[in-house]
Amino acid sequence: MVNPAGTSGKGPARSKRADAQRNQQTLLTAAAAVFVTSGVDAPIREIAARAGVGMGTIYRHFPTRADLVVAVYRHQVEACAEAGPTLLADAASPLAALAQWVDLFVDFLVTKHGLANAMQSDTSGFDALHTYFLDRLVPVCAQLLDAATDAGEIRPGTRAYELMRGIGNLCISHGSDPRYDPRRLVELLLAGLARN
């Protein structure tokens, strides 16, 4: 069916959906950055300012804070999953790719620690997200570890789940003590994997 302007109307609708998707991705990236620096309880106006949108735009996409936090969580999981192969292809070495990926993973973990509070009593939803996180990220970490092992940069035997769990444990206290810098300890952990 042709509209009065003589077009099918499908082109603008598709580009409008693509624009909405890009805007949502920009918003989620901004929210993730704010959550890393200010926690998941950061004011919505701070996220809106960083994303360059009005607060109404955020509430239109994410009616509750929990909706926003879960969307950021999923966005960051996907970003970490997609970054692994890209870093492996572009970094100077597999160990450098692993270190860069771990840095992204730490940013994600800082946000993740506020997720349980934001979701409050929705334990089944939290468990499903945790399973999704493991299913998406453990294979990526394993690929990076295998590449670094094959290149002779790290000793064999480190399992992806163990490494991710160790990094997670180092990040738990982030924010509770300004003298504690988990990134420094994560760097020491990675240095301990390297062959001398």
Query: Cα separation of 2 and 152, whole Å?
Result: 63
CA torsion sign for 150, 156, 161, 164 is negative
Q: Mean pLDDT over residues 36-51, rounded? A: 88
List, for residues 95-114, the tens digit of each pLDDT value. 999 999 999 998 888 766 66
Contacts of 95 (CB under 8 A, 6+ apart): 148, 151, 153, 154, 190, 194
Q: pLDDT-derived band of residue 2, with 50, 70 and 90 as boundaries?
A: very low
Name the pTM for this structure: 0.77
Q: Mean pLDDT over residues 38-43, rounded? A: 84
CA angle 64, 68, 70 (to 5 degrees): 115
Length of the chain: 196
Q: How many CB atoms are located within 10 Å of the residue 93 CB?
A: 13
Torsion angle of the four alpha carbons 29, 99, 134, 127, in this order, in degrees rounded to the nearest 10: -60
Q: Evaluate whether the domain defined by 1-63 bears CATH number 1.10.10.60.
A: yes
Residues of the chain with CATH 1.10.10.60: 1-63
Per-residue model confidence (pLDDT) at position 113 = 60
Residues of the chain with CATH 1.10.357.10: 65-196
| CATH number for the domain whose boundaries are 65-196 | 1.10.357.10
Say if CB 29 and CB 72 are below 8 A apart: no
